[in-house]
Structure 1
Amino acid sequence: MTSSQLQAVACSTAANANIFLPYINQTFDRFDISTPVRQLCFMAQVSHESGGLFYTEELASGAAYEGRASLGNIHPGDGIKFKGRGLIQITGRNNYQLVSAALQADFIANPTLLGGKNISQCSPDQLKYAALSAGWFWQRAGLNVFADKINPLQPVDSGANLEYFKRITRGINGGYNGLPDRLHRYLQGAAAMPAGPANQTAA
């Protein structure tokens, strides 16, 4: 993916796209996000979650996750310590342990390594792991399978394509929050990709 294509699908500034580009492409390579449609679907979701490649940590304190055994937050302070971080907001002690094993980095001892507030406050390592953790989550959820079912010659926001896109959204979000914005980002990116015009909604 080029910087201009990343800027288009992320609806981000050129500066933010340039900063994240090497880490995004590294993520594509590592987690087999290897086709234009896979990349469009991934970036439409990730850029929505991160506010256009800006936020690498959720804005809330994380206190709402305190004591959530389903997230593995069994120790006092876990809610805040393991709040949502990374471009896809990895949340909870359990997920931090899993992504630590996958990426061979200790996010339990160093949770902010997954992301530091926003792009302007992140070190290169935080940017790298913010991107890679999103790719890990995507692969673990098996979302390439649904991206592969999307026909790039048909509009993404209707028919079977929309149902597959919604399935991806549910895999990321647990529901369909922000679906129109996620679709908008896909369409913006599709126009900048080699087969882009065919992904546009018919007038």
Structure 2
Amino acid sequence: MTLTLPQLIAAGITPTVARTFLPHLIAAFERFGIDRPRRMAAFIGQCSHESSAFTRLEENLYYTDPARIASMFSALRQVERARGYVRSPKSLANVVYAGRNGNGDEASGDGWTYRGRGLIGITGRTKYRNAEKLLGLPFEARPDLAAEPGGATLTAGQYWTDNGLNAQADRWQIDAITRGINGAAMAGRIDRADRCNRALEALLAAA
């Protein structure tokens, strides 16, 4: 089954964005075996939630509330310390991601350089390096590739297959897929399910 533009629009993606992403989704679906309605719908729905309907391909680290920063990042649990990173996304990324996932220390700037990007965000130098090895694109040297439609879709497809999410989609285990992407927090559980179900309805209606 090949995804079409009307199907993608019916799944809740605006026409302009759908036209941009359609060829990249078709290529990724073929590459990663996302080739049945349930697999395609689960991928579209989960990625739609993760990226605000395919419009946000880069982690937003601009916070105005220090309490929110403290609740989000273990490195800044003290609100008074978190206050110093309000409206300072670059500094925030460099401190909270320092020494993690292959990043250097805060001074290295790796936290900002390798911040989350993609339809299913990859974060940290190690993950960018692994994406480069698996996908054959220079993600480590040019991390912004992961925030472009092609790179964002490929890295999401790689994550999808690496975590066995096709099998869960075949059984329509949306909560299990959500857990595989978001972990125990299950953030946006209801919205994810709604988006997946809408995408499946769009695909089956045109099948």
**TM-score range with shorter-chain normalisation?**
0.7 to 0.9
1:184 matched to 2:194: yes
Q: SS of the residue aligned with 1:194?
A: helix
What's 2:75 paired with?
A: none
1:86 alignment partner AA: G
What's 2:26 paired with?
A: 25
1:89 matched to 2:111: no
Q: Tell me, in whole angstroms, the C-alpha distance in 1 between the residues paired with 2:15 and 2:134.
A: 31
From 154, 168, 179, give the equivalent of 1:170. Answer: 179
From 90, 96, 104, give the equivalent of 1:74. Answer: 104
What's 1:39 paired with?
A: 40
How far is 1:74 from its partner? 2.5
From 94, 98, 117, give the equivalent of 2:130. Answer: 98
How far is 1:64 from its partner? 5.2
Higher helix share: 2
TM-score by length of 2: 0.78
Q: Which has the higher contact order (CA 8 A, sep 6+)?
A: 2
Unaligned 5+ segments in structure 1 are: 116-125, 151-163, 197-203
1:65-112 deviation per Cα after TM superposition (whole angstroms, max 9, x unaligned): 43243x121242111110111111111111101101011111111111
Q: For 1:110-129, what aligned pairs fall within 5 Å after superposition?
A: 110-115=142-147, 126-129=148-151
**Number of equivalences:** 172
Q: Tell me, in whole angstroms, the C-alpha distance in 2 between the residues paired with 1:64 and 1:53.
A: 28
Indicate conservation of the 8 Å contact 1:73/1:93, yes or no: yes
What's 2:167 paired with?
A: 145
Unaligned 5+ segments in structure 2 are: 62-88
Aligned-residue CA RMSD in angstroms?
Answer: 1.8
From 2, 5, 23, give the equivalent of 1:3. Answer: 5
TM-score by length of 1: 0.79
Structure number with larger C-alpha Rg: 2
